[in-house]
Amino acid sequence: MQGLHLTADLHHCDCDSAWLLDARLLGVACRDAVQAAGLQAVGELFHAFPATAHGPGGVTATILLAESHLCVHTWPELRAVTLDVYVCNFGADHSAKAHALLDGLIALFAPTQVDRQSLQRGVLATPL
């Protein structure tokens, strides 16, 4: 059950607006990034939200991985994105692949500010 959970909050994304608005286009980019990182997609869902009084609707892109998952959420009105990459390390350490996937997506969105978090999952605390 041990794994690595990476998240990143991207602010002031300088990418083409299509990456923030177009579910189909973002889905292709996510599939390509998963493959480039050496991970295995086993399912996917890409959803575009309708525009509201606050601005254009964003996109949620989710890819189920044999190793765990990738989720991307866009906020085009803020030019912001949140990324979530989790890989289980059962049988092999996929940590480098998780970092490669996250880095590839960060490059796609071209943010001017990135807040990253990393969490080791499933590690038992040392008993007292």
Question: Which residues participate in catalysis according to the annotation?
Answer: 68, 73, 88
Place of tokens 């309708």: 50
DSSP letter string, 33-71: HHHHHT--EEEEEEEEPPPBTTBS--EEEEEEESSEEEE
Residues 6+ apart with CB under 8 A from 30: 44, 46, 61, 63, 70, 72, 105
